[in-house]
Amino acid sequence: MRSMILQSLNILNYRNIREASLEFSPKLNCFVGLNGQGKTNVLDAIYLLSFTKSAYTSQDSLNITHGEDMAMVQGVYITSPQPSPQGRELSEQSQFSSLEGRSGGVTTISCGLRRGVKKQFRKDKKDYQRLIDHIGLLPLVMISPSDQQLIDEGSDERRRFMDVVIGQRNRKFLDCLATYNALLKQRNALLKQLQTPPQPSPQGREVSEDLLEVLEWQMVEPAEYIFRARTEFFKEFEPYFQEVYKRIATSPDLPQGEEKEIPQLRYVSQLQDRELREAYVRTRQRDLILGWTSQGPHKDDLDMRLGEWPLKQVGSQGQQRTFVLALKLAQALYLGNSTGEAPILLLDDIFDRLDSERVERIVEMVQGEEFGQIFITDTDREHLTEIIQPGPDAKIFHVENGVIK
């Protein structure tokens, strides 16, 4: 399987990292240091180059070192010479996402941040017209403690999980998602306007309700595409999840003949049993009372269970961690196999709360040929060197107060 490899990374004034110039192993790279020293900031800089934004904040100015006016992150990527596995046929969408824009074997991506100025994002010294066009060029999966939000938080987090994967291989999906969200915002604003005093005149209300109908017609096409894309994704993704769960689960997590312990994952959407256009008409009066849109793909969810029971209610800490790790590692496997290009994998402080057996299983798995380049952060160097031996395929960096050695 081919992969994009981050060969080098230059950082200037990014969070607490004032300056760093790093050369990486094509396979395994580890950053060791105490909490709060800057390990996560290195991974966030790598994430920025794939997704055009930080994993932790939507406000670019917060990524600039305190007291500085600008920041710069630059990465040089090379394409590994490995062929796609077994001559696998890629979908037209996958080929478009993963191969478009390649210029030879070397690609340079840079992001410049300046306070009060729109960020500058470049590929091989050329500015992007739309940042969304960069998504999918450098496939990446990040795993961190915050992934527990997939279980603890609302459906927004689980939809985002699906959309991040689909968007890295399907440009049209991202466009439809952006179009739908813009129309949804307009419809919700109009519903709120009709709900809030002073009420419009009968003639004005009729005009507003006509506009509601126009918006609904416009929303149907992108909504249906989003639903189809998520349905297709889940059908292909779920077997990867089941496979990874079995590979990384330790004995307490595995089924012991009791159905309640078997992990279950299900995609839930209102569009599975209704036509959206009809649903908008049927629920319009209800939506006018609520002041927001109650039907559509923005209500989709992933149902996570152990047997018949909700994971959040019955899952132990170990079972929940294994479930989330399986989701994210399956994300990487799915992306690699669906695009023919193994994504970069970022593992941010995920070992602190895991037993040694589970850590060894995860490290053994991600070092296999199925996975591409990997970046790991950890607080315990001795623990890390017990399972990872420095060499041509592995480099260990020490991070202290934003200085990387």
The C-alpha atoms of residue 117 and residue 397 are separated, in whole angstroms, by 33
DSSP string, 3-72: EEEEEEEEEEEETTEEEEEEE--SSEEEEE--TTSSHHHHHHHHHHHHHSS-SS-S-GGGGBPTT-SEEE
Two tokens at 41?
């900031």
Specify whether the CB–CB gap between 364 and 372 falls below 8 A: no
pLDDT of residue 332: 95
Specify whether the CB–CB gap between 321 and 225 falls below 8 A: no
Angle at 79 between CA 75 and CA 81, to 5 degrees: 155
The C-alpha atoms of residue 61 and residue 21 are separated, in whole angstroms, by 22
Average pLDDT over residues 322-334: 95
Ranges 26-30, 90-94, 296-300, most confident:
296-300
Statement: residue 32 has pLDDT above 90:
yes
pTM: 0.88
The CB-based long-range contact list for 360-364 (8 Å cut-off, 24+ gap) reads 360/387, 361/247, 361/248, 361/250, 362/248, 362/325, 362/329, 363/387, 363/388
The C-alpha atoms of residue 158 and residue 336 are separated, in whole angstroms, by 21
| 207: nearest Cα among 222, 224, 223, 190 | 190
pLDDT-based confidence at 235, cuts 50/70/90?
A: very high
pLDDT of residue 250: 64
pLDDT-based confidence at 361, cuts 50/70/90?
A: confident
Catalogue the E-assigned strands of 237-367. Answer: 263-268, 301-306, 309-310, 341-342, 344-348
- Of the chain, the percentage scoring pLDDT greater than 90 comes to 67
pLDDT of residue 105: 83
Whether the bond into 198 is cis, omega within 30 of 0: yes
Statement: residue 256 has pLDDT above 80:
no
Give the domains, in start order, of the chain with CATH numbers. Answer: 1-139+343-405 (3.40.50.300), 148-340 (1.20.1050.90)
The C-alpha atoms of residue 85 and residue 95 are separated, in whole angstroms, by 14
pLDDT of residue 260: 45
Statement: residue 385 has pLDDT above 50:
yes
pLDDT-based confidence at 99, cuts 50/70/90?
A: very low
Q: Find residue 141's DSSP bridge partners.
A: 345
Classify burial at 208, counting beta carbons within 10 Å of its beta carbon; exposed 0-12, middle 13-18, buried 19 or more.
Answer: middle
- Of the chain, the percentage scoring pLDDT greater than 70 comes to 86
Q: Find residue 77's DSSP bridge partners.
A: 6, 107
| More confident: 84 or 62 | 62
Average pLDDT over residues 169-185: 96
